[in-house]
Amino acid sequence: PSAEPQPPTLRILTYNIHHGEGEDGVFDYERLAGVINSTNPDLVALQEVDRATGRSSGVDQAAVLGELTGMNHYFAQAMPYSGGGYGEAVLSRFPIDEAWTVNLTCEPGQEPRAVAAIRVRPLGDAGPQLVFAGTHLCHQAADTRLQQAREINEAFPKVHDRVILAGDMNC
């Protein structure tokens, strides 16, 4: 083995949780957290996340999954839905220094999409910041996906931060 120190690594997970409902029709957040925990991720991009919707009995899914995984969380609403919100979320083992939502273009009749973005310092307060962003691009039209990708590139300039983008790209 080399005596030289190894560079730090990050374990990234992207997970479409289908609004928390399993293929068996059951909303089981401990099961979802078990899948997440089994990969021991540092950063997680979640797609199809409900927050206080009737469909998911008013549960703030990002907060519950954050608690069950011991991770910090941020929810980005892509659209209002069933008395609450529906969109993306990110989980982080690291403290979140800043969080924001980028809404993406969609055509009439297409489901609205967004990006959940956070700024973290994986190496601690003295280390460099990085932006972790999670998204779910349009499943209905390749032209819309391309436009959304352009918007993401514009929203996260390369000159400021290291950026990691993860998600369900639908292509």
pLDDT of residue 160: 62
The fraction of the chain above a pLDDT of 90, given in percent, is 87
Cα–Cα distance for residue pair 3/14, rounded to 1 Å: 33
Query: What SS3 state is found at 63?
Result: helix
**30-81 tens-digit pLDDT:** 999 999 999 999 999 999 999 999 999 999 999 999 999 999 999 999 999 9
Mean pLDDT of 108-136: 94
SS3 label, residue 130: strand
Q: What angle separates helix 29-38 from helix 61-69, to the nearest 10 degrees?
A: 50
Nearest Cα neighbor of 44 from 23, 70, 21, 19 is 70
- Distance between CA 25 and CA 40 in Å, rounded? 26
What does DSSP assign to residue 16?
E
For the entire predicted model, the pTM comes to: 0.94
Q: Give residue 115's pLDDT band: very low, low, confident or very high (50, 70, 90).
A: very high
pLDDT at 164: 95
